[in-house]
């Protein structure tokens, strides 16, 4: 390995490298920066492995970082308003219903839940807006200057937003590595060394716990006769390998000066078995370990499951319906969940769409973060997309289905792909202009080893909100995640093995 310096990193010797990796490994084991290997699970042990991380923090322009954080309350406002406009949301997503089972299930459950007589007027949400820097066709070898790269949105997530705890841990790890001097190789200049002051802090876990605590408080005292206490219920997927991203929020709630009671319940059968609805739609939780005791009335349902179509078999459907019918505060509501479909993001790029929800100056700030997006239908915009495809101008575009969670986009041979699917299925896809991020150098450690190379980064910004009808009770920027992948990898999902958690080195 050479010692030559490179933008965003500098190469250690073989020996220094081994020391660095050993430091990182120890830090990750000690701080739960881990994923579970479920196959190895027995009653008394389970193997786990460190989540993928970058060895060094990766440079990112401070001005764009601040801009993304400052913009989050405006994005929160937008998506609170979208969830409150059922008619607009239905029109934006109705074409998905015949072809996307998840959209069909969510709208179906929403319709059935309307039969409930009592309704909860307060909603909570954890959002995450993901961005990359866009270079507008210029790739410069100079360090990132403000005018070169601007923030463009990759996607907006409104449901089960993950990664907050991992992102916080890795930011803490890079600060530790910086403070201890492990990056100070003999040949690195002062300027090349990351310094702790350039690494932003990340209070994700506390911010998310704080939103849930505020929602819990807003629910108030138990209303049903049977229950003496209220608690938050985290709905999680069974066979969960990503507990290190979920559990810290639970522990933070128990750790508060005034502990907030909160429990975990698995999606599906367990919801039907361990919860009941009262005649007035309070959701009661009957913890199996407290069988003989009074039930707990659920104040807030925090969803970390139910985002994949296969979860909506008969049991899954009934389980979600029970949650939706209840007067517990949902984090998020089913309409907020529906607003996560990429069709919604595309619909918001249509002329005038943002102005339906936001004042013109705020709409303009949001619009500046959009790249071109097109539907694949018979609308004027849809015909434009078809022209792009016909004229062979497709290479700087990506085709996205309305599925979540990584690994679903089409990057190559888009025309071929489109002609291979039934014409009716095409309208559930969107065509999106490709964001061209600047390149840096880094080493990314994962189960694949620690290859050095050119990398690109994505900044995710968390937003937390609580609202009653159209009134915002809480609207804050709640922290960030920063993920870096090798430049030749298209996808990004750290827990699925694409990319690593990282920290922006602000400059």
Q: Determine whether the annotation assigns residue 460 to a binding site.
A: no
Q: Determine whether the annotation assigns residue 335 to a binding site.
A: no
The single residue among 301, 358, 398, 443 that binds ligand ADP, judged by CB under 6 A, is 398
Q: Determine whether the annotation assigns residue 342 to a binding site.
A: yes
Least Å distance between CB 411 and ligand ADP?
8
Least Å distance between CB 132 and Mg ion?
11
Q: Determine whether the annotation assigns residue 434 to a binding site.
A: yes
DSSP string of 303-317, one letter each residue: EES--SGGG-SHHHH
Token pair in block for residue 455: 């990398």
Q: Determine whether the annotation assigns residue 108 to a binding site.
A: no
From the list 85-93, 137-145, 375-383, 431-439, the region that binds ligand ADP by CB under 6 A is 431-439
Give me the half-sphere count of Cα atoms (radius 13 Å) on the Cβ side of residue 426: 21
Q: Determine whether the annotation assigns residue 401 to a binding site.
A: yes
Which 8-state DSSP code applies to residue 498? B
Q: Determine whether the annotation assigns residue 163 to a binding site.
A: no
Of 245 and 324, which CB lies nearer to Mg ion in the complex structure?
245
Token pair in block for residue 326: 């209840």
Residue 175's binding partner, choosing from Mg ion, ligand ADP, none, with beta-carbon cut-off 5 to 8 A by kind? none
Range 224-227 contact pairs with CB under 8 angstroms and sequence separation of 24 or more: 224/278, 224/280, 224/282, 224/284, 224/297, 226/278, 226/284, 226/294, 226/295, 227/282, 227/284, 227/294, 227/295, 227/296, 227/297
- Total of residues contacting Mg ion (CB under 5 A): 1
Least Å distance between CB 137 and ligand ADP?
13
Closest C-alpha among 484, 506, 492 to residue 439 = 484
Q: Determine whether the annotation assigns residue 406 to a binding site.
A: yes
From the list 66-74, 183-191, 292-300, 399-407, the region that binds ligand ADP by CB under 6 A is 399-407
Site string for ligand ADP, 447-486 (x = CB under 6 A): -----------x----------------------------
Which 8-state DSSP code applies to residue 146? T
Least Å distance between CB 128 and Mg ion?
9
Least Å distance between CB 157 and ligand ADP?
7
Residue 435's binding partner, choosing from Mg ion, ligand ADP, none, with beta-carbon cut-off 5 to 8 A by kind? ligand ADP
The single residue among 62, 247, 367, 434 that binds ligand ADP, judged by CB under 6 A, is 434
The single residue among 98, 238, 405, 453 that binds ligand ADP, judged by CB under 6 A, is 405
Q: Determine whether the annotation assigns residue 205 to a binding site.
A: no
Contact partners, residue 405, CB within 8 Å, separation at least 6: 307, 308, 493, 496
Of 243 and 399, which CB lies nearer to ligand ADP in the complex structure?
399
Q: Could you give the CA distance from residue 387 to residue 364 in angstroms, rounded to a whole number?
A: 27
Burial level of 387, CB count in 10 A (0-12/13-18/19+)?
A: exposed
* Cβ neighbours around 140 below 10 Å, total: 12
Least Å distance between CB 132 and ligand ADP?
6
The single residue among 409, 417, 474, 507 that binds ligand ADP, judged by CB under 6 A, is 409
Of 155 and 308, which CB lies nearer to Mg ion in the complex structure?
155
Q: Could you give the CA distance from residue 340 to residue 338 in angstroms, rounded to a whole number?
A: 5
The single residue among 20, 151, 154, 300 that binds ligand ADP, judged by CB under 6 A, is 154
Residue 62's binding partner, choosing from Mg ion, ligand ADP, none, with beta-carbon cut-off 5 to 8 A by kind? none
Q: Determine whether the annotation assigns residue 387 to a binding site.
A: no
Q: Using the rule CB under 6 A, is 244 a contact of ligand ADP?
A: no
Q: Determine whether the annotation assigns residue 97 to a binding site.
A: no
Contact partners, residue 243, CB within 8 Å, separation at least 6: 36
Instruction: Scan residues 366-395 and list those touching ligand ADP (CB under 6 A).
Output: 371
Give me the half-sphere count of Cα atoms (radius 13 Å) on the Cβ side of residue 441: 13
Going through 175-327 in order, the beta strands assigned E by DSSP cover 229-236, 262-266, 275-277, 283-285, 296-304
DSSP string of 410-472, one letter each residue: B-S-HHHHHHHS-HHHHTT-EEEEPP-PPPEEEEEEBTTB--EEEEEEEEEEEEEEEEETTEE
> What is the signed CA dihedral for 263, 269, 275, 280, rounded to 10 degrees?
130
Q: Determine whether the annotation assigns residue 485 to a binding site.
A: yes
Q: Using the rule CB under 6 A, is 492 a contact of ligand ADP?
A: yes
- Total of residues contacting ligand ADP (CB under 6 A): 18
Least Å distance between CB 442 and ligand ADP?
16
Instruction: Scan residues 150-209 and list those touching Mg ion (CB under 5 A).
Output: 155
Element containing residue 478 per DSSP (H, E): strand 471-486
Site residues (CB under 5 A) for Mg ion? 155
Site residues (CB under 6 A) for ligand ADP? 130, 154-155, 371, 398, 400, 404-406, 408-409, 432, 434-435, 458, 490-492
* Residues that constitute the known binding site for ATP: 342, 400-409, 411, 432-435, 458, 485, 491
């Amino acid at each position: 390995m050479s010692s030559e310096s490179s933008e965003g990193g500098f190469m250690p010797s073989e020996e220094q490298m081994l020391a660095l990796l050993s430091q990182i490994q120890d830090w990750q084991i000690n701080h739960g920066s881990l994923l579970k290997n479920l196959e190895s699970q027995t009653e008394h042990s389970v193997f786990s492995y460190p989540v993928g991380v970058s060895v060094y923090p990766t440079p990112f322009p401070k001005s764009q970082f601040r801009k993304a954080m400052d913009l989050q309350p405006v994005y929160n406002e937008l998506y609170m308003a979208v969830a409150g406009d059922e008619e607009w949301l239905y029109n934006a997503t109705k074409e998905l219903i015949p072809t996307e089972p998840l959209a069909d299930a969510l709208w179906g459950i929403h319709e059935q839940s309307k039969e409930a007589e009592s309704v909860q007027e307060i909603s909570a949400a954890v959002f995450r807006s993901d961005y990359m820097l866009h270079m507008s066709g210029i790739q410069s070898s100079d360090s990132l200057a403000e005018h070169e790269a601007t923030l463009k949105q990759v996607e907006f997530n409104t449901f089960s937003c993950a990664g907050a705890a991992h992102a916080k841990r890795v930011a803490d790890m890079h600060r530790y590595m910086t403070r201890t001097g492990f990056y100070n190789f003999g040949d690195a200049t002062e300027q090349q060394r990351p310094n702790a002051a350039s690494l932003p802090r990340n209070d994700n876990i506390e911010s998310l716990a704080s939103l849930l605590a505020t929602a819990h408080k807003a629910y108030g005292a138990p209303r049903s006769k049977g229950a003496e206490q209220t608690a938050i219920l985290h709905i999680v997927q069974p066979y969960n390998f990503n507990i290190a991203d979920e559990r810290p929020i639970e522990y933070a709630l128990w750790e508060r000066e005034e502990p907030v009671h909160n429990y975990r319940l698995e999606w599906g059968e367990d919801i039907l078995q361990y919860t009941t609805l009262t005649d007035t739609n309070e959701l009661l939780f009957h913890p199996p370990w407290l069988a003989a005791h009074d039930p707990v009335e659920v104040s807030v349902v925090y969803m970390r499951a139910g985002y994949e179509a296969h979860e909506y078999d008969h049991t899954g459907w009934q389980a979600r319906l029970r949650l939706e019918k209840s007067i517990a505060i949902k984090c998020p509501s089913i309409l907020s969940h529906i607003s996560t479909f990429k069709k919604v993001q595309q619909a918001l790029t249509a002329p005038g769409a943002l102005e339906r929800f936001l004042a013109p100056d705020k709409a303009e700030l949001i619009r500046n973060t959009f790249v071109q997006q097109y539907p694949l239908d018979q609308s004027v915009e849809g015909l434009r997309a078809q022209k792009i495809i016909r004229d062979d101008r497709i290479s700087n575009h990506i085709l996205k289905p309305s599925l979540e969670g990584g690994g679903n986009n089409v990057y190559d041979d888009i025309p071929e792909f489109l002609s291979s699917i039934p014409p009716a299925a095409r309208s559930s896809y969107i065509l999106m202009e490709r964001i061209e991020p600047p390149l840096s150098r880094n080493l990314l450690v994962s189960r694949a080893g620690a290859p050095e190379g050119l990398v690109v980064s994505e900044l995710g910004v968390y937003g937390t909100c609580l609202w009653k009808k159209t009134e915002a009770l809480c609207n804050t920027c709640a922290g960030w995640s920063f993920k870096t992948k090798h430049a030749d990898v298209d996808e990004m999902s750290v827990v699925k093995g694409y990319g690593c958690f990282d920290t922006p080195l602000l400059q």
